[in-house]
């Protein structure tokens, strides 16, 4: 097994990876910005190195600084977590060229599946249904107009070079198309350095369903699906497994096609294939070539440590699991706890945490990096922790989550804990009568 792994990330995912490494008996190296020197991941790691200032470009996105940290500590491998450099093909390639193991797929596959257009073509080639839309990136208005006339409104415009809701516009009528097209192009250029967009059919009442996979040279297995349909402006808030709207016939078909594609492209590592689901049909959305924020719900129902499996695949090339080993039990729900004020349009709420009491108890898990006295800065993502609860069924998981949210105390900053209580008590949530547009259409706070 690896002797030493450097984690090129921060916050709760860095803590999560350090814990998995410790259970493998692997030494860990934390990297951090100047404002993160007192962070939990720095305290838990065996070694730590400051790699720059609070600006991500000078620290967590600073490839030369991270390469220097690897050289100074003699780390054999790098775990990128999620976000930052986790899907940066150039970073993975530099590591490959320096004989440092990137805990994830090859740079070639990251590049291939990170290109939304190419990924869509690959999915189609291997039998996954895809959303009707442009075959490539578009920057010319007349070309874009022809595509819209072909597929019909409403349509969705997305930045070809990135995600996270940046550069994403929904167009319901022809008269608004030119203005929103130009705005999307401008935002795509600003955030991703590429003004190309792609255009696809927009679904008005979709669910967001994703399939977790683990793949090695020997085989590909799936760890069933997650339902991530509680979203606000394309940002996930609550995730659960299994999806309450699928039947076994739909699942089996989805899993078979997903595993076939992932296996055929020669993927190695953990990955997630995301789909839009509406009116009994699935459509390929994208593949994330990294661990997901919401991976704990899958771990809770399968009993499989996805991070440890990632490390094993990176070291051996093979997955130790067979499909028969994966037998999900019960239902799990995750709530993302953000340092935001939901009553003020989700305004970020940085500050110093005062009293901090985290819930515990039967089948209750908190993945986080906060503690009393910890300073939540305004420089990074506002998520401070994740609360995950497991039950024998969905009803019990919801009640356990509500009990746990009641126990959770974080003083000094405003969080989304109260919002999650409202959502879990809402009739539409309890009856699973919602889709990804629910919170954007209905005022909950």
The catalytic residue positions are 290
Helices (H), 265-369: 295-302, 306-316
Residue-level pLDDT at 355: 96
Q: What is the pLDDT of residue 198?
A: 84
Specify the pLDDT at position 164: 61
pLDDT of res. 163: 66
User: What are the sequence ranges of the domains in the chain?
Assistant: 4-103, 132-201, 207-441
Q: Which two tokens stand for residue 404?
A: 């746990």
The residue whose two tokens read 């150039």 is 90
CB 376 within 8 A of CB 368: no
CB atoms within 10 A of CB 367: 20
String of DSSP letters for 348-405: E--EE--SEE---STTEEEEE---TT-EE-SSS-SEEEEEEEEESSHHHHHHHHHHHH
Angle between helices 306-316 and 295-302 (to 10 degrees): 90
Q: Tens place of pLDDT for every residue, the chain, 445 residues?
A: 999 999 999 999 999 999 999 999 999 999 999 999 999 999 999 999 999 999 999 999 999 999 999 999 999 999 999 999 999 999 999 999 999 999 999 999 999 999 878 898 999 999 999 988 888 789 889 999 999 999 999 999 988 876 667 778 999 999 999 999 999 999 888 887 888 898 999 998 999 999 999 999 999 999 999 999 999 988 999 999 999 999 999 999 999 999 999 999 999 999 999 999 999 999 999 999 999 999 999 999 999 999 999 999 999 999 999 999 999 999 999 999 999 999 999 999 999 999 999 999 999 999 999 999 999 999 999 999 999 999 999 999 999 999 999 999 999 999 999 999 999 999 999 999 999 999 998 888 7
The answer as to CATH 3.40.50.20 being correct for domain 4-103 is: yes
Which fold, 132-201? Dna Ligase; domain 1 (3.30.1490)
How many Cβ atoms sit within 10 Å of the Cβ of residue 3? 11
Report d(CA 230, CA 40) in Å as an integer.
Answer: 29
Distance from C-alpha of 98 to C-alpha of 116, rounded to nearest angstrom = 28
Cβ pair 378, 350 in contact under 8 A: yes
**Distance between CA atoms of 348 and 360, rounded to whole angstroms?**
26
- Return the pLDDT at 166: 73
The separation between CA 141 and the C-alpha centre of its own chain, rounded to angstroms, equals 32
Contact 10, 32 (CB under 8 A): yes
* Helix (H) or strand (E) run with residue 438 in it: helix 438-441
Domain range 207-441, CATH class: alpha beta
């Amino acid at each position: 097994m690896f002797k030493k792994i450097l984690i090129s990330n921060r916050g709760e995912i860095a803590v999560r990876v350090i814990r998995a490494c410790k259970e493998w008996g692997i030494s860990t190296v934390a990297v951090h910005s100047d404002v993160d020197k007192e962070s939990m991941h720095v305290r838990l790691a065996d070694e730590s190195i400051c790699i720059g200032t609070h600006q991500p470009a000078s620290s967590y996105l600073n490839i030369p600084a991270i390469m220097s940290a690897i050289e100074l500590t003699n780390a054999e491998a790098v775990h990128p977590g999620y976000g930052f450099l986790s899907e940066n093909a150039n970073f993975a390639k530099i590591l490959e060229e320096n004989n440092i193991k990137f805990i994830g797929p090859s740079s070639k596959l990251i590049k291939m599946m990170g290109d939304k257009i190419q990924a869509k073509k690959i999915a189609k080639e291997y039998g996954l249904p895809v959303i009707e839309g442009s075959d490539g990136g578009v920057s010319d208005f007349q070309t874009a107009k022809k595509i819209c006339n072909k597929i019909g409104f409403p349509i969705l415009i997305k930045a070809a070079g990135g995600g996270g809701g940046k550069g994403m516009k929904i167009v319901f009528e022809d008269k608004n198309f030119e203005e929103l097209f130009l705005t999307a192009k401008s935002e795509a250029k600003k955030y991703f350095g590429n003004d190309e967009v792609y255009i696809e059919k927009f679904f008005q009442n979709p669910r967001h369903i994703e399939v977790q996979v683990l793949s090695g040279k020997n085989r590909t297995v799936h760890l069933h699906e997650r339902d991530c349909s509680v979203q606000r402006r394309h940002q996930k808030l609550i995730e659960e497994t299994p999806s309450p709207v699928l039947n076994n016939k739909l699942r089996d078909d989805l899993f078979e096609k997903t595993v076939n594609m992932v296996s055929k492209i020669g993927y190695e590592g953990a990955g997630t294939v995301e789909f839009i689901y509406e009116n009994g049909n699935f459509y390929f959305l994208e593949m994330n070539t990294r661990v997901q924020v919401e991976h704990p719900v899958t771990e809770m129902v399968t009993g499989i440590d996805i991070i440890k499996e990632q490390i094993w695949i990176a070291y051996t090339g093979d997955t130790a699991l067979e499909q028969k080993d994966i037998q999900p039990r019960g239902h799990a729900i995750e709530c993302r706890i953000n340092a935001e004020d939901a009553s003020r349009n989700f305004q970020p709420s940085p500050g110093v945490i005062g009293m901090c009491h985290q819930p515990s108890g039967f089948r209750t898990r908190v993945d986080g990096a906060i503690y009393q006295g910890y300073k939540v800065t305004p420089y990074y993502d506002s998520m401070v922790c994740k609360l995950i609860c497991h039950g024998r069924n969905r009803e019990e998981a919801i009640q356990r989550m509500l009990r746990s949210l009641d126990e959770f105390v974080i003083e000094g900053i405003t969080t989304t804990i109260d919002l999650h209580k409202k959502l879990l008590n809402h009739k539409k949530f309890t009856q699973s009568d919602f889709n990804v547009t629910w919170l954007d259409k209905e005022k909950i706070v």
